[in-house]
Amino acid sequence: MSDVFQDAVARLRNLGEEAGIRPEVVEALVQPKATLAASLPVRMDDGGTRYFPAFRCRYNDVLGPTKGGIRFHPGVSAAEVKALALWMTIKNACVDLPYGGGKGGVIVDPKKLSRMELERLSRAYMRAMADFVGPDTDIPAPDVYTNARIMGWMADEYEAIVRHKAPAVITGKPVGLGGSKGRGEATGRGAFHIVEKYADHRGLDRASTTVALQGFGNAGYHIARLMQQAGYRIVAVSDSKGGIYKKDGFDVDSLYKVKQESRVLKGVYCEGSVCELVEHDTITNAELLELDVDLLVPAALEDAITEENAGDIKAKAIVEVANGPTTLAAEGILAERDIDVLPDVLVNAGGVTVSYFEWVQNRQGYPWTLETVRARLKSQMEDAFDAVATARAEDTSTWRAAAYAVALRRIETGIEMSGTRDYFNSED
């Protein structure tokens, strides 16, 4: 597997050149501003101590304090964290948030920890990173295998260290601890708004549009639920263990109910508390990616669509809810085959957008209603889609190129305000 960070940098260089961005601006984004690595000592339930490698990257802060999630996953690496932080830099600029990009992670399988061990790990992470984060410096949030409760533990630990209340240090917290209403659904709901704009843009008939979804976690569930409510047909869903397929489509809420109760993805239909199996096919994740559907929604981890399987993709468009699910080499193949790829830096920006709303509410000391959050999220995502669609119509080759062009031009403007080579060499 290629180095995910080098892949991200290569894509940045290519798309920066296509958008006509100044080389010095691209060079400013090739390396992160600062990265901190730590080893977290955690007292385990058996009395022993284990050490977990941890990272936090503040990639670029030209447009504001850095912002990005923390993931707990055995596949975390320094390269992955840097790549994710770079994508966050582009994402925040793409949807016009006053943030730079950041990211963090711990190499751990959280499923193998007890609840108390998980709390100790979360607090240990914040103790290691307390001087590196802050409400005006770097604001973490949930990511893969972290959640509102973990963010609450981290915020509490930070406040114990600085000896004052600082709810704006972390977003994605429980609502009772300063979190925003609507944050849990935000990534999926934001992605749904992008799909709806794309459907209008392409003139898609919702009732005849089939959808395959790889990944049925929080974001995957919410976009699937909203798409089904809007009339799309969800014909395939998968999790890390495999997938299910039904030509006529599934009832998303029934699948989610049983998965939450049994931790197993089953083809079911529920009425109240009574659930019955429905006829369906069992498929692998690889088979799901190659289904003949209108929209393919990768909503799991990065590198799902690679050079090896891109030629077998039959979907008419790919909606990247996950971060980095399509490799650089794969994207070239998809472009040659005229398959639209709606990029992660646009599609999954709903989470960071509502995190921004939470940060604003914390700083104001004034919580918003759920209706306010949803309305402002819809407006922000639709405005971002319109900006990207305009850029694509004007002078870019793909949806990702257009999203990067929008983002990089905003970052370029910020850098120009501080002075560039042309400014310092000008006699005007």
At 264-288, the pLDDT tens digits run: 898 888 888 888 888 899 999 999 9
Residues 341 and 201 in one domain: yes
* Residue 366 domain flag: no
Residues 306 and 333 in one domain: yes
Q: Do residues 363 and 135 make contact, with C-beta atoms less than 8 angstroms apart?
A: yes
Residues 112 and 145 in one domain: yes
pLDDT given for residue 1 in this prediction: 42
pLDDT in tens, 88-146: 999 999 999 999 999 999 999 999 999 999 999 999 999 999 999 999 999 999 998 99
- Residue 385: closest CA among 244, 233, 206, 199: 199
Q: Which pairing describes strands 281-283 and 340-342: parallel, antiparallel, or unpaired?
A: unpaired
Model pTM?
0.92
* Residue 400 domain flag: no
**Catalytic residue, candidates 82, 91, 103, 259:** 103
* Residue 374 domain flag: no
pLDDT in tens, 228-268: 999 999 999 999 889 999 999 999 999 999 999 888 898 88
Return the number of other C-beta atoms located less than 10 Å from residue 148's C-beta.
18
pLDDT given for residue 79 in this prediction: 95
Cα–Cα distance list, 10 to 13, 15, 34, 100, 280 (Å): 5, 9, 20, 20, 41
> Domain of 75?
36-168
Encoding tokens for residue 19?
Answer: 């958008």
Is 67 catalytic? The answer is no
Residues 335 and 205 in one domain: yes
Q: Do residues 428 and 371 make contact, with C-beta atoms less than 8 angstroms apart?
A: no
Q: In degrees, to the nearest 5, what angle opens at C-alpha 246 toward C-alphas 242 and 249? A: 115
As for how many domains the chain has, the answer is 2
- Which of 114, 139, 168 terminates a domain? The answer is 168
Average predicted confidence (pLDDT) for the chain? 94
Residues 292 and 334 in one domain: yes
| Alpha helices, H only, 95-212 | 115-129, 148-162, 186-202
Residues 70 and 118 in one domain: yes
Q: Do residues 140 and 68 make contact, with C-beta atoms less than 8 angstroms apart?
A: yes
pLDDT given for residue 428 in this prediction: 61
Q: How far apart are CA 171 and CA 226, in angstroms?
A: 24
* Residue 304 domain flag: yes
Encoding tokens for residue 121?
Answer: 């790990």
Whether pLDDT at 289 is above 50: yes
